[in-house]
C-alpha cells in the first residue's frame, strides 16, 4: 500500500502520572527493585502480560526494560567514523537505558541503530528491513540521536523514523499466525506522523510482499485517509490488516476513533477469531479508552485472518515506506489480552515517567518576542536543518517550545526531531540569520538568556533580533548589535 502525503505535526502536553502499576488478577512476577538511581519496579509490562495469561513473545524498547529481571542489551548502534558497533544496555536490571554509553561511543561522529533487541528471549530482534514488493531496499537505519527523551528522569533515545527507514524480522519465534489471537501495544510520538503509508508496528508477511487481505495485523499511526479513518484531522490509531487500514468494522469512517496526538501516545491493537479492538491513551497520564471492539471487518478476506508472523517497524507489510513516526517501546503477545491486563500495563507506562524535558536544570517554554507579542517559531514545524526562524502567533505547539539546557543551548522539538538554535555558518556579523540545526555543541549554538530580556550569542556577542522591528507573523529572526529596543526583548516561560 502506498500513498504519499504531507506531514502534519501537532502536540498536546499532559502532566506526568505518578500512579504505581496496578496488579491484575493472579500473582505478578515479583522481583525486588534494584538499589540505586535506576531501580526497577517489581513488575514491568511483560510481567503484567504474563500474569494475565498472555505472555510477551516480542518486546522491543530503546528506553527501558520491559521485564523486571531483564538485564541484557536494548539496542545496538553503529558509528560512522569507523563502522564499529556497540550494544546499549541498562543502568541496572529492570531499569533504564544507559544513554551515556551511547553518547560516549557516538561523540564526534554519527550513529545509526542497527538492532533493536527482543527482550522476550525468543530472539525476535528487529534489524534493517530488506526490500519488498512495494519498494526497494534495504531500508535506511534510524539516526540514533534524533529522538532524545527522558524516562524516569533518565536520558534515553527513541527510534526516529523518517520516510525510507524501516526495521523487520521475517523469521520469528512464537508470533501469531493464521487466525490465532494476539495483542500488541506501542508508545509513539503523537506529534510525529504523516499521511504516507505506512508507519506500522506489528505482525506482517514473512516474504515482504502484499499477500492479500488478512495477512497482516499491525498498529498503524498517522493521518492517511485512503482507506479507513477516524474523527477529526488525525492522527489516528488504526489496524493495518493488509490492503486496508481499519478504524472499525468497515473500510471507511469510524466516528468513535478519535484524533489522538499526545506527545507520548499509547496505541493498542489486539485480535482473535472474528474479534478485534483498538485502544489508546496518553502515555504520560490517565487511563486507556476503547475506540473499537467488535467483529472483524465486513470485507472479504479478513475473517478468518491469515497472519504470517513477521514483525515490522516503520513500514507496511510490503515495505511501503512513505510514512514517518517515532517509536519508544512496544510488545507483542501470545493470546488476546484482557482489558484489565492492558489497563495495568497502561498504569505501568504512565508511572515510568516519559517526558521531553531536558533535565540538568533546564527551563522549557515558549520564547516570547516581547515587542511583537508573538513567539519564536520553526516555520511549519520543519525538520529541515537550516530553516530560518520566525515569529508567529503563540500556539503552544512543539515548534514553539524551547528548552534552555545546562550546556547553554536553546533546543526545540520540531516534527519529532530535536534541533538547536544556531547562528548560520558560525557567522558573527550583524544580519546573520538564526536557524535550526542539529545540536553539535558549537559555540554558535550557545546562548545567554540575560536578566535584561536579551538573548545573546556566546560566540558573537550579538542579540537575538526580530528583523526590522516587525510585529507581523513571519518576520524573520537574526543576530544584530544589541541596542535595547523592544524587538530584542525575549521572555522564556
- State the DSSP string of 41-60: PS--HHHHHHHTT--EEEEE
Interatomic CA distance for residues 178 and 274, integer angstroms? 12
Which of 376, 464, 451 has the alpha carbon at shortest distance from 419?
376
Place of cell 510490503: 318
Cell matching residue 246: 481499519
Which of 78, 187, 197, 194 has the alpha carbon at shortest distance from 132?
197
Q: What is the CA angle 114-115-117, rounded to 5?
A: 165
Burial code (b: 16+ CB inside 10 Å, e: under 16) for 58-82 equals bbbbbbbbbbbebeebbbbbbbeee
Burial code (b: 16+ CB inside 10 Å, e: under 16) for 29-45 equals bebeebeeebbbbbbbb
Coil, helix or strand for 178? Answer: strand
- Whether the CA torsion 41, 44, 47, 52 is positive or negative: it is positive
Interatomic CA distance for residues 492 and 489, integer angstroms? 10
> Which pairing describes strands 447-449 and 401-404: parallel, antiparallel, or unpaired?
unpaired
Interatomic CA distance for residues 313 and 202, integer angstroms? 7
Which of 374, 368, 265 has the alpha carbon at shortest distance from 326?
265
HEC per residue, 365-425: EEEEECCCCEEEECHHHCCCCCCECEEECCCCCHHHEEEECCCCCEEEEECCEEEEEEEHH
Interatomic CA distance for residues 410 and 423, integer angstroms? 12
Q: Confirm whether 182 is a catalytic residue.
A: no
Q: Which of 118, 200, 242, 465 is catalytic?
A: 242
Which of 483, 482, 488 has the alpha carbon at shortest distance from 453?
488
Q: Which of 9, 318, 329, 478 is catalytic?
A: 318
Q: Confirm whether 242 is a catalytic residue.
A: yes
What does each C-alpha distance from 218 to 38, 163, 185, 237 come to in angstroms?
A: 32, 18, 10, 10
Which of 149, 420, 189 has the alpha carbon at shortest distance from 324?
189
Q: Is 427 exposed, middle or buried (0-12, 13-18, 19+ CB in 10 A)?
A: middle
Please identify every residue annotated as catalytic: 242, 318
Amino acid at each position: 500500500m502506498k500513498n504519499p502525503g504531507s506531514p502534519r505535526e501537532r502536540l498536546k502536553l499532559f502532566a506526568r502520572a505518578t500512579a504505581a502499576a496496578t496488579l491484575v488478577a493472579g500473582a505478578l512476577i515479583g522481583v525486588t527493585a534494584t538499589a540505586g538511581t535506576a531501580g526497577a519496579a517489581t513488575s514491568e509490562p511483560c510481567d503484567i502480560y504474563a500474569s494475565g495469561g498472555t505472555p510477551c513473545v516480542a518486546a522491543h524498547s530503546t528506553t527501558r526494560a520491559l521485564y523486571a529481571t531483564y538485564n541484557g542489551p536494548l539496542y545496538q548502534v553503529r558509528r560512522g567514523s569507523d563502522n564499529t558497533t556497540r550494544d546499549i544496555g541498562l543502568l541496572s536490571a529492570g531499569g533504564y537505558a544507559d544513554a551515556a554509553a551511547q553518547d560516549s561511543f557516538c561523540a564526534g561522529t554519527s550513529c545509526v541503530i542497527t538492532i533493536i533487541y527482543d527482550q522476550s528471549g525468543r530472539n525476535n530482534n528487529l534489524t534493517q528491513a530488506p526490500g519488498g514488493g512495494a519498494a526497494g531496499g534495504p531500508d535506511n537505519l534510524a539516526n540514533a540521536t534524533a529522538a532524545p527523551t527522558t524516562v524516569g528522569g533518565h536520558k534515553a533515545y527513541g527510534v526516529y523514523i523518517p520516510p525510507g527507514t524501516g526495521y523487520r524480522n521475517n523469521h520469528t519465534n512464537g508470533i501469531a499466525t493464521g487466525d490465532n489471537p494476539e495483542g500488541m501495544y506501542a508508545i509513539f510520538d503523537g506529534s510525529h506522523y504523516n499521511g504516507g503509508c505506512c508507519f506500522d508496528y506489528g505482525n506482517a508477511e514473512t516474504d515482504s510482499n502484499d499477500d492479500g487481505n488478512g495477512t497482516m495485523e499491525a498498529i498503524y499511526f498517522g493521518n492517511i485517509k485512503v482507506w479507513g479513518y477516524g474523527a477529526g484531522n488525525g492522527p489516528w490509531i488504526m489496524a493495518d490488516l493488509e490492503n486496508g487500514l481499519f478504524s472499525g468494522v468497515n473500510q471507511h469512517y469510524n466516528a468513535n476513533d478519535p484524533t489522538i496526538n499526545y506527545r507520548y501516545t499509547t496505541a493498542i491493537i489486539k485480535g482473535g477469531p472474528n474479534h478485534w479492538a483498538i485502544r489508546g491513551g496518553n502515555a504520560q497520564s490517565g487511563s486507556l479508552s476503547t475506540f473499537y471492539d467488535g467483529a472483524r471487518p465486513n470485507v472479504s478476506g479478513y475473517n478468518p485472518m491469515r497472519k504470517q508472523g513477521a514483525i515490522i517497524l516503520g513500514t507496511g507489510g510490503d515495505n511501503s515506506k512513505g510514512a514517518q513516526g517515532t517509536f519508544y517501546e512496544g510488545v507483542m503477545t501470545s493470546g488476546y489480552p484482557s482489558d484489565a491486563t492492558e489497563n495495568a500495563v497502561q498504569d505501568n507506562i504512565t508511572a515510568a515517567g516519559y517526558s521531553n524535558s531536558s533535565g540538568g536544570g533546564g527551563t522549557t517554554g515558549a520564547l516570547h518576542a516581547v515587542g511583537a507579542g508573538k513567539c519564536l517559531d520553526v516555520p511549519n514545524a520543519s525538520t529541515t536543518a537550516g530553516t530560518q526562524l520566525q515569529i508567529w502567533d503563540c500556539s503552544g505547539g512543539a515548534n514553539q517550545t524551547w528548552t534552555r539546557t545546562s550546556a547553554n543551548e536553546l533546543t526545540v522539538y520540531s516534527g519529532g526531531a530535536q534541533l538547536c538554535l544556531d547562528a548560520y555558518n558560525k557567522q558573527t556579523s550583524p544580519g546573520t540569520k538564526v536557524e535550526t540545526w542539529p545540536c553539535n555543541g558549537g559555540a554558535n549554538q550557545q546562548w545567554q538568556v540575560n536578566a535584561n530580556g536579551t538573548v545573546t550569542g556566546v560566540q558573537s556577542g550579538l542579540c537575538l533580533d526580530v528583523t526590522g522591528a516587525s510585529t507581523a507573523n513571519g518576520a524573520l529572526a537574526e543576530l544584530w548589535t544589541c541596542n535595547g529596543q523592544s524587538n530584542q526583548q525575549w521572555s522564556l516561560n
